[in-house]
């Protein structure tokens, strides 16, 4: 392995330049005006896969943004790994809170700042550089790899499920490896064995055909903003439990062993609270913070819009009120089942004084893996080699929709380890990635490909 690792050390500066180029492409999958940028980013990814020495490099059109594929299958008898990541990024608003432009990557204090630095271009890049280091020094890889980088993760991977089903045989592998999650904390490499699922809704209430003078009409018609507040207040009780009938029916309890493992992690509740700027932590009673975020479902209000919000005062009854709400799900909650129960409950609690329109948006299934598998052990050895520390096992509260699809369609284990840090502002202004984590991550990933060639 030494020549491979020497190669990585020798190219440390070049990596920053190349990643800067990748991060310069505003591949915001959610915004139609960035459609061409997303495609440009797919093209960049195609070129990069070719440049590092992968074969059969292809761009696949979908009904949405393209999927990029490349492979290297010249290690007969060795395992095959499917490497997954995404080249699309989240929108950047509010722009004025960025200290440097989101698509002009800037290095400050050993961190590279840009949208996509941590989620997920930086971590995709880590895999590509690890593969390149092997191919450039040895003209071969210790394993077979199939690399699939998509452009719709941040909008729910709506077209990827079909792609995976259509290419089930082409994507066959012994394990899947994904780097799209954070480390537990700085200096603590982590392997993630669980993700929450998601369902997401937009709800619109209408109380009248137009905005009304609140003096002339106040008291005579429903105020949709107020009705919306009342409706939302019925979604959770004071103990933080979701009140949708049947919501918890299929929830798999955390095991005692798991709760004990979580307690052993170096989690500092007061640092966590202070770093978030939250006056108090709160959540479902009977559960610790990590248990709440990793192992329990939630109901969240993601956005609210209604009425007059400008300077000063305006006496008006808004005609409409809108909320974006979502639920994070855990095994064995099924998104469609929970969605049906939510919609039925919603229609029950919304009074007939308003008209309601409900639109279901993206989502994904929860995922929980058996960590007792040789590829997890290979990742563990590799992370120790790259970071000088044995990794901890974590679950995560976030969602990666395709992971459950891989599980169902390909039936092989996924190994998730990431190099982002929890405070690196994924989805927020000033997203960044620590460059020494990137560097150690490239080393660890190069070792992972080696270790995965002899899983035991």
Token digits for 295?
């192992």
Name which position in 111, 396, 424, 451 contacts ligand BES (CB under 6 A): 396
Q: For ligand BES, give the closer residue by CB, 124 or 225.
A: 124
Q: Considering CB distances under 5 to 8 angstroms, the limit depending on partner class, which of ligand BES, Mn ion, none binds residue 399?
A: ligand BES
Q: Considering CB distances under 5 to 8 angstroms, the limit depending on partner class, which of ligand BES, Mn ion, none binds residue 364?
A: ligand BES
Name which position in 116, 297, 331, 401 contacts ligand BES (CB under 6 A): 401
HSE, side-chain direction, 13 A CA sphere, residue 302: 13
Q: How far is the CB of 4 from ligand BES (least distance, A)?
A: 27
Q: For ligand BES, give the closer residue by CB, 116 or 142.
A: 116
8-state DSSP, 299: E
User: Does the protein bind ligand BES through residue 156 (CB under 6 A)?
Assistant: yes
**Among all chains, which residue has been given the structure tokens 């980013």?**
41
What are the residues whose beta carbons fall under 8 Å from the beta carbon of 439, sequence distance 6 or more?
A: 8, 12, 15
Q: Per CB under 6 A, which of residues 189..218 are in contact with ligand BES?
A: 198
Asked about 269 being catalytic, the answer comes back as no
Token digits for 90?
């989240």
Q: How far is the CB of 213 from ligand BES (least distance, A)?
A: 41
Backbone angles phi and psi of 176, in degrees to 5 = -115, 140
Task: Please answer whether residues 53 and 136 qualify as being in contact, where contact means their C-beta atoms are separated by less than 8 angstroms.
Answer: yes
Name which position in 71, 111, 120, 396 contacts Mn ion (CB under 5 A): 120
Instruction: Give 242's strand partners.
Output: 236
| Total residues binding ligand BES (CB under 6 A) | 16
Tell me the DSSP string of 175-205: EEEE--SB-SBTTB-EEE-EE-EEEEEEEEE
Name which position in 29, 144, 179, 181 contacts ligand BES (CB under 6 A): 181
User: Does the protein bind ligand BES through residue 455 (CB under 6 A)?
Assistant: no
Strands (DSSP E) found in 22-125: 55-60, 67-72, 80-86, 106-108, 111-113
Among 37, 48, 71, 88, the active-site one is: 88
| Angstrom distance (rounded) from CA 372 to CA 381 | 14
Q: Which residues are catalytic?
A: 88, 153
Binding positions for Mn ion, rule: CB under 5 A: 119-120, 180
Binding positions for ligand BES, rule: CB under 6 A: 119-120, 153-154, 156, 180-182, 198, 362, 364, 396, 398-401
């Amino acid at each position: 392995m030494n020549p491979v690792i020497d190669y990585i050390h020798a190219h440390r500066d070049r990596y920053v330049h190349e990643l800067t180029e990748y991060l310069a492409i505003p591949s915001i999958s959610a915004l139609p005006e960035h459609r061409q940028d997303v495609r440009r980013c797919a093209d960049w990814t195609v070129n990069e896969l070719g440049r590092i020495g992968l074969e059969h490099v292809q761009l696949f059109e979908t009904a949405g943004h393209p999927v990029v594929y490349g492979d290297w299958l010249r290690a007969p008898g060795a395992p095959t790994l499917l490497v997954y990541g995404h080249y699309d990024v989240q929108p950047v608003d509010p722009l004025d809170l960025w200290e440097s432009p989101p698509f002009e990557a800037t290095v400050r204090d050993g961190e590279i700042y840009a949208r996509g630095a941590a989620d997920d271009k930086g971590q995709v890049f880590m895999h590509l550089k690890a593969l390149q280091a092997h191919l450039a020094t040895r003209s071969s890889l210790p394993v077979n790899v199939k690399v699939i980088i998509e452009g719709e993760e941040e909008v729910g991977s709506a077209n990827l499920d079909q792609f995976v089903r259509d290419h089930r045989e082409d994507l066959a592998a012994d394990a899947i490896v994904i780097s799209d999650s954070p480390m537990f904390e700085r200096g603590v490499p982590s392997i993630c064995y669980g993700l929450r699922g998601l369902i997401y809704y937009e709800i619109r209430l209408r109380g009248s055909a137009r905005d009304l003078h609140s003096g002339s009409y106040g008291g005579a018609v429903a105020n949709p903003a107020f009705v919306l507040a009342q409706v939302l207040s019925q979604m959770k009780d004071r103990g933080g439990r979701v009140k949708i009938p049947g919501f918890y029916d299929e929830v798999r309890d955390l095991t005692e062993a798991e709760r004990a493992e979580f307690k052993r992690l170096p989690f500092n509740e007061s640092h966590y609270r202070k770093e978030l700027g939250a006056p108090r932590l709160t959540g479902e009673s009977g559960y610790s913070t990590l248990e709440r975020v990793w192992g329990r479902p939630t109901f969240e209000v993601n956005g609210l819009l209604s009425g007059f919000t400008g300077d000063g005062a305006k006496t008006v009854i808004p005609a409409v009120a809108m909320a974006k709400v979502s639920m994070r799900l855990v095994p064995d909650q099924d998104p469609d089942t929970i969605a049906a129960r939510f919609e039925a409950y919603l229609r029950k609690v919304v009074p007939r004084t308003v008209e309601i329109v409900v639109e279901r948006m993206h989502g994904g299934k929860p995922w929980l893996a058996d960590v007792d598998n040789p590829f997890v052990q290979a990742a563990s050895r590799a992370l120790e080699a790259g970071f000088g520390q044995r990794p901890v096992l974590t679950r995560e509260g976030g969602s990666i929709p395709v992971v459950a699809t891989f599980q169902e369609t390909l039936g092989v284990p996924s190994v998730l380890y990431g190099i982002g840090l929890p405070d690196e502002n994924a989805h927020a202004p000033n997203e960044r990635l620590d460059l020494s984590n990137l560097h150690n991550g490239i080393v660890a990933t190069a070792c992972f490909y080696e270790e995965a060639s002899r899983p035991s």
